[in-house]
């Protein structure tokens, strides 16, 4: 990848390069140029859908992006605040040739980002992102709109929230009901603050919602999928059947069982895979996750006789492998889950509906369903770094990794990688015991701090 795009679009601190209005104008021009050329002969495609989460910098970047888009003679269709998967869906509804999401997902409010969907609602390949990046950063950007006198128009999409909720309802069987299910929602003061309460209530659940008062700076602040402690307490306090936590843009899900225990993305995938297989709905008997998935997930899928493959980290890489493998279920332990028979991207609300489907059909509490998977002891340490050299070129870090791998042998594993969206090195170790796992993870993390922090 180049200088702009990481594992999930362009991301950075708002009002600092590259998340500036000036760069957003360039991005709008480049994205409009790229996709108008790509779909030049398709008369059924028109314009670009633009949506955002609840960050205070969202409208600023939205206005800049739309200025760039319209300067290219391309129309922009605005959703306003809507979850990322909702914006992907609106690309199909509006027959647009692209969609842009202004969001930094689970990051703090002062960050923001730009994610792009193609005209079919899928995230872009590395190749496409590289071409767009060259159009953004190249000298030709200032000339892309030269001679265009008929600029694009700007439209507000009517009732995007209702359209997205209707779409989600089509993902569950006719007559599906959440009657007598008590749910606590943690909406992260983010993009799902309207849609999530609406759909679960309309499906008959007893719903109590937390963190549904976004003010631009409280998105993900001690709430949401990254910080579920308040949700855990509320589930136990209210005697709820389940807690559902989403991230700021609504493409991640973390669940809390009736005892206040957290269910990771891997555990949710295991429950859903088992449920789909029992219903003969697990396409090609395959599941795709990433190299970060817990070894326990691989063990349970093997026990269930489900074919399991692992991609690079990033939900778009999961999607690419799902398409190549012919799989309909995939995701990440972080909470991204993709149900390809229903949607083109990860969707936290959709994943919650599928998980609840297993609860309703099996008539068992979530804690019972989660017992299908044994979690291997795992330690993850995030180390802030000042630079990101190739890990295998830093001898001190490699020595620590080799020491840990030799000690663990085949009873565990080590994974050290940089975040694609933050200045962080992630050190993950799995092993036969919590003590060993923690010891070797701290040893490697210490080597990273001494050499890169």
Exposure b/e, 195-208, CB count within 10 A at least 16 = b: bbbbbbeebebbbe
Q: Count other C-beta atoms under 10 Å from residue 409's C-beta.
A: 9
Angle formed at CA 199 by CA 193 and CA 200, multiple of 5 degrees = 95
Residue with tokens 């063990």: 299
Coil/strand/helix, residue 211: coil
Angstrom distance (rounded) from CA 55 to CA 107: 10
Cβ atoms 439, 377 nearer than 8 A: no
Q: Report the alpha-carbon distance of residue 190 to residue 248 in Å, rounded.
A: 4
Burial 39-69 (b: 16+ CB within 10 A, else e): beeeeebbbbbbbbbbbbbbebbbebbbbbb
Sheet strands (E) in 267-342: 286-290, 307-311, 329-331, 337-339
Pairing mode, if any, of strands 206-210 and 182-186? parallel
Question: In the block, which residue shows the tokens 């939205």?
Answer: 62
Catalytic amino acids? 105
- Would you call 314 helix, strand, or coil by DSSP? coil
């Amino acid at each position: 990848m180049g200088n702009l795009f990481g594992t999930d679009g362009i991301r950075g601190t708002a009002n600092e390069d590259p998340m500036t209005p000036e760069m957003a104008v360039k991005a709008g021009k480049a994205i409009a140029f790229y996709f108008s050329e790509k779909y030049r002969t398709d008369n059924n495609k028109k314009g670009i859908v633009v949506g955002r989460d609840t960050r205070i910098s969202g409208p600023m970047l939205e206005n800049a992006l739309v200025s760039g888009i319209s300067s290219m003679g391309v129309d922009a269709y605005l959703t306003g605040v809507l979850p990322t998967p909702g914006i992907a869906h609106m690309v199909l509804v509006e027959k647009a040739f692209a969609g842009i999401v202004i969001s930094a997902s689970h990051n703090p409010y002062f960050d923001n980002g730009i994610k792009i969907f193609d005209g079919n609602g899928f995230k872009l390949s590395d190749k496409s992102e590289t071409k767009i990046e060259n159009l953004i950063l190249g000298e030709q950007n200032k000339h892309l709109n030269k001679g265009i006198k008929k600029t694009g128009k700007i439209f507000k999409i009517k009732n995007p929230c209702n359209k997205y909720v209707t779409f989600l309802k089509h993902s569950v069987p006719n007559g599906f009901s959440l009657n007598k299910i008590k749910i606590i929602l943690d909406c992260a003061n983010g993009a799902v603050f309207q849609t999530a309460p609406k759909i679960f209530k309309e499906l008959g659940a007893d719903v109590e919602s937390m963190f549904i008062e976004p003010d631009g700076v409280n998105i993900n602040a001690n709430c949401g999928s990254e910080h579920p402690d308040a949700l855990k307490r509320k589930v136990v306090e209210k005697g709820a059947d389940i807690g559902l936590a989403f991230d700021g843009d609504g493409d991640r899900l973390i669940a809390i069982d009736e005892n206040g225990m957290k269910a990771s993305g891997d555990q949710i995938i295991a429950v859903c895979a088992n449920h789909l297989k029992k219903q003969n709905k697990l396409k090609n008997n395959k599941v795709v996750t990433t190299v970060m998935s817990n070894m326990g997930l691989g063990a349970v899928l093997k026990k269930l006789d489900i074919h399991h493959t692992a991609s690079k980290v990033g939900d778009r890489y999961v999607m690419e492998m799902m398409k190549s493998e012919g799989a309909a279920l995939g995701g990440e332990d972080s909470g991204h889950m993709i149900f390809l028979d229903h949607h083109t991207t990860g969707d936290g609300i959709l994943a919650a509906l599928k998980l609840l489907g297993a609860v309703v059909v099996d008539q068992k509490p979530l804690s019972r369903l989660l017992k299908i998977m044994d979690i291997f002891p795992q330690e993850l340490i995030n180390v802030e770094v000042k630079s990101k050299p190739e890990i295998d070129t830093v001898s001190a870090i490699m020595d620590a990794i080799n020491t840990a791998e030799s000690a663990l042998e085949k009873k565990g594993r080590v994974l050290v990688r940089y975040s694609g969206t933050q200045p962080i090195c992630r050190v993950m170790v799995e092993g036969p015991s919590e003590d060993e796992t923690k010891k070797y993870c701290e040893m490697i993390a210490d080597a990273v701090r001494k050499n890169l922090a």
